Amino acid sequence: MRSLRTEAKDHIKQLRAITLATWTKRSASMLWLGIREWCGDSAYERYLQAQKTEPEKSCLLTPAEFYVERMNRRYSRPNRCC
């Protein structure tokens, strides 16, 4: 029969492992969200959220239409490079 102290130590080790796994998962998720924001991959989701708050604007764009509109906005301005 195991002592109460040994069982308590095992329980603490299990809790630490669960906490570490939870922290790692949460950190990886936040990193992934940051990368998506940085590269612009989440722009369509943000567009949909903004449209929900202001529904009086025009109809929603499809993801393909949104992408084309975004590229037009990005490259229609004068570029003074080279």
Extract long-range pairs of 68-76: CB within 8 Å, 24+ residues apart. Answer: 70/40, 70/43
Q: Which two tokens stand for residue 15?
A: 């809790």
The per-residue pLDDT for 82 is 59
The pTM assigned to this predicted structure is 0.55
Pick 64 or 5 by higher pLDDT.
64
For the segment 36-74, what is each residue's pLDDT rounded down to a tens digit?
889 888 899 988 888 888 767 668 889 999 999 988 988
Share of the chain above pLDDT 70, in %: 88
Cβ within 8 Å of residue 67, ≥6 positions away: 44
